Structure 1
Amino acid sequence: MKAMVLNSYGPDAPFELAELPDPVATPGHVVVKVAAVSVNTVDTMIHNMGPDLPLSPNLPAVLGMDFAGTVTAIGEGVTDFAIGDEVYGCAGGLMDLPGSLAEYINADSRLIAHKPKSLSMRESAALPLVGITAYEGLTRAGVGDGQTVLVQGGAGGVGHVAVQIARHFGAKVSATGRGADQMSLIESLGARPLDFTKQKVEDYVAEHTDGVGFDVVFDSVGGANMTNSFAAAKLNGHVASTVAMVEIDLTPAHFKGLSLHVVFMLIPMMHDVGRQTHGNILQALAELADNGVLKPVVDEQTFGWADVGAAYAHLKNGSAAGKVVVELQ
């Protein structure tokens, strides 16, 4: 099969076309002919940093976590999928799991689901990592009907999905962003847009929660921004963060009695723990998409086999408007 391979790591390391052996469906796995692959921030981090990240695969490496495609072979013990099924998932591209930037991937059947019927392969490939992350964070924080939810970074890959899922759960959603384009996107998703470059935390908390604070703050920005999330949350509220690799003073969280939920969705892949949970979430996301309440925003620029490096650069330089997807058919 054809595959795009890294033979070195670093910001300028090229993706090179190579011929690799076709994968065989091992027990509990299915072979999927890949139609589309999305690029996530964690993919670009692996590309840039290599062995400095403990989850990076050994060289030569095939990256790509998210994918959508068609099942071509079934391994022993698999009963939920059949040859010809259209599926999507997040199942490789780290540690010893070969990625999806290839014609075929041998994927653990617990990490995939039937793709949404209402979405294209391109759209479906954009959803798994960000969708699972958003779903996990919101459910762990107990988002429910009538609650107030603030999504930090509501126009981003994870954030724009979190906005839609939180609204489906019955919450009244606000979301931060910057600039007219992001404000317009957030509003189109049904959330109240808050331009953090123009409004201070205490101002929008006073205006939109009567000074009480939000029941749940979903922080897809993380890092130093977590202090803003603490400030925006109500007493005994919840903060879910997808980027908690930071040294920070937890005193504000202590005096508010906040619950902090750190979401790292790669754990099932890295440690083979709770993998079926991801398959279940993907099934739930597909149902939401087919019911018309969830749709990923995909960047309009198209990329193919020869453009993988350009796709990674497009995400890294901040010019993408939505999820970046590489089509392999």
Structure 2
Amino acid sequence: MTPSRPPVDTTMRAVLLEEFGSPLVLGAIRTPVPGPGQVLVRIAASGVNPLDTKISAGKAAHARTRPPAVLGLDLAGVVEETGADVTGLAPGDEVFGLTGGVGDLQGSLAEYAAVDARLLARKPDALTMRQTAALPLVFITAWEGLVDRAGVREGQKVLVHGGAGGIGHVAVQLARARGAEVFATGSPRSLQTIAGLGATPIDRTTTPVDAYVAEHTGGEGFDVVFDTVGGETLDASFTAVRTYTGHVVSALGWGTHSLAPLSFRGAGYSGVFTLLPMLTGRGREHHGAILREAAALAEAGALRPLVDPRRFTLSTAAEAHGVVERGEGRGKVVVDVAG
């Protein structure tokens, strides 16, 4: 006979944003109950993204978050309960997903979260909970850009701007797994990391765009350019892409940019806004499907997230946010929620 699971407490610890710009505080709130199509996840780890810190500071209106709120976009954990109409998941299943922290969705800096089961995938056995919690936002963004928008395939030359960053280091691995030859820009201190991921490193501080386009593509341009930096880097992407058949994708297409260099090449452009399914409710099944692809790559040894070695808990989550905000992370910063 299978022993019954212990009952879930009616209250739980959670890190609260009470007002934009105010310090995060640890408090107690009511434990959510899963509704139809939802599962209750006991959270083991929560990934911290730059977007989390922007939301906290009130600088991310596009996330539609209203205090008081529990932040945290990424989670890895264990299913505790299932609501009505949930199939394919059961109590005890280890899962991960990009599930909350925007709109009216509770985030992952809490002991539990009731989340839409469509946003989840089973955790890969090859990764720890911490490694898995580092993946959802960055992998989904990389997949939507490289696969859904640009259709990266074998034989192409792909340039990733910010190849050692959160999205970038996953994008490098994804493009290589799909058979592309990958090049990546970065600062001098990141070049060794980029090379270790299997991409050809390009020092963005010393090498002009025309120079690396000439060296690595014979002046033809890259088949796909994935911008994870924005600003002037997106402008540089428009001059680095291949004529006619090239495609530029950006995860940070903010601001005003001249499209003339792109138009003169007859190339294409796409933007990625990864939060849409959470904010609108549309396309959530696709996010779950993307994460199943991530799990398969991890099990095959083709995907390993870089995780900052420092350990944070719910009690020190504000310190984790500080590390990310100051750009001091050596890989993805992760908060341990449960032992």
TM category, shorter: over 0.9
Determine the C-alpha separation between the residues in 1 that align with 2:99 and 2:317: 19
2:142 counterpart letter in structure 1: A
Residue 136 of structure 1 pairs with residue 144 of structure 2: yes
Is the aligned partner of 1:266 residue 2:275?
yes
Helix, strand or coil at the partner of 1:20: strand
Q: Distance in 2 between matches of 1:212 and 1:195?
A: 20
1:25 — aligned with what?
34
Compared CA separation, residues 159 and 54, structure 1 to 2 (3 A): closer
The equivalent residue for 2:14 is 3
- Structure 2 equivalent of residue 243 of structure 1: 252
Contact kept? 1:32, 1:71, Cα under 8 Å: yes
Counterpart in 2 of 1:96? 104
Aligned to 1:177: 186
Counterpart code for 1:6: L
- Give the corresponding residue for 2:113: 105
- Pick from 246, 261, 283 the counterpart of residue 252 of structure 1: 261
**Cα distance in 1 for residues equivalent to 2:24 and 2:196:** 36
Q: Which whole-Å CA distance do the structure 2 matches of 1:319 and 1:19 have between them? A: 30
Distance 1:308 1:131 in 2: 23
**Match in the other structure for 2:163:** 154
Corresponding position: 1:164 with 2:186: no
Q: Secondary structure at the match of 1:71?
A: strand
Render the CA deviation track for 1:205-238: whole Å, top value 9, x for unaligned: 1011111110000111112211110111010210
Q: Deviations over 1:161-204 (max 9, x none)?
A: 00000000100000000113x10110000000000101011001
TM-score by length of 2: 0.94
The 2-side partners of 1:325 and 1:56 are apart by 23
TM-score by length of 1: 0.97
Deviates more, 1:118-127 or 1:220-229: 220-229
Pair 1:121-2:129 in alignment: yes
Alpha-carbon displacement from aligned partner over 1:109-163 (angstroms, at most 9, x marks no partner): 0111001111000000000000000011001101100100000000000000000
Cα distance in 2 for residues equivalent to 1:162 and 1:154: 8
Provide the C-alpha distance between the structure 1 equivalents of 2:151 and 2:293, rounded to a whole number of angstroms: 16
> CA contact under 8 A between 1:224 and 1:246: conserved in structure 2?
no
> Which ranges of 4 or more aligned residues in structure 1 deviate by more than 6 Å?
none
1:16-52 per-residue CA deviation (whole Å, 9 max, x = no partner) reads 12111111111001000000001111111100116x6
Structure 2 residue 223 is matched with structure 1 residue 215: yes
Which structure 2 segments of 5+ residues have no match?
1-11
Residue type at the aligned position of 1:5 = L
The C-alpha deviation readout for 1:261-318, integer Å capped at 9, x for no partner, is 1011100001111110000000010000010000000011111121111100100101
Tell whether the 8 Å contact from 2:154 to 2:178 is kept in structure 1 after alignment.
yes
> Which residue in the other structure is 1:46 paired with?
55
Equivalent in 282, 286, 291 of residue 282 of structure 1: 291
Paired with 1:6 and 1:29, the residues of 2 have a C-alpha distance of 24
Q: How many residues align?
A: 325
Deviation at residue 57 of structure 1 after TM alignment: 2.3
Unaligned 5+ segments in structure 1 are none
Q: Secondary structure at the match of 2:58?
A: helix
Question: How far apart are 1:58 and its partner, in Å?
Answer: 2.1
Check whether the contact 2:93–2:122 (CA below 8 A) recurs between aligned residues: yes
Q: Which residue of 2 aligns with 1:68?
A: 76
Give the Cα separation in 1 of the matches to 2:116 and 2:97: 9
Distance 1:2 1:186 in 2: 38
CA contact (8 A) 2:110 2:314 kept: no
Shift of 1:55: 2.2
The answer to whether the 8 Å contact 2:63/2:275 transfers is no
Q: What value does the CA root-mean-square deviation take over the aligned residues?
A: 0.9
Supply the AA of the counterpart residue of 1:168.
Answer: A
Q: Alignment identity in percent?
A: 49
Q: Give the Cα–Cα distance (whole angstroms) in 1 for the partners of residues 130 and 175 of structure 2.
A: 24
Q: Which residue of 2 aligns with 1:191?
A: 199
How much has 1:108 moved relative to structure 2? 0.4
Kindly indicate whether the alpha-carbon contact (under 8 Å) linking 1:26 and 1:75 is maintained by their aligned counterparts in 2: yes
User: How many angstroms apart in 1 are the aligned matches of 2:40 and 2:270?
Assistant: 34
Q: Is the 8 A contact 1:38 1:323 kept in 2?
A: yes
Q: Contact conserved, 2:37 with 2:84, CA < 8 A, in 1?
A: yes
Give the structure 1 partner of residue 324 of structure 2.
315
Alpha-carbon distance in 1 for matches of 2:17, 2:32 = 18
Cα displacement (A) at 1:54: 4.1
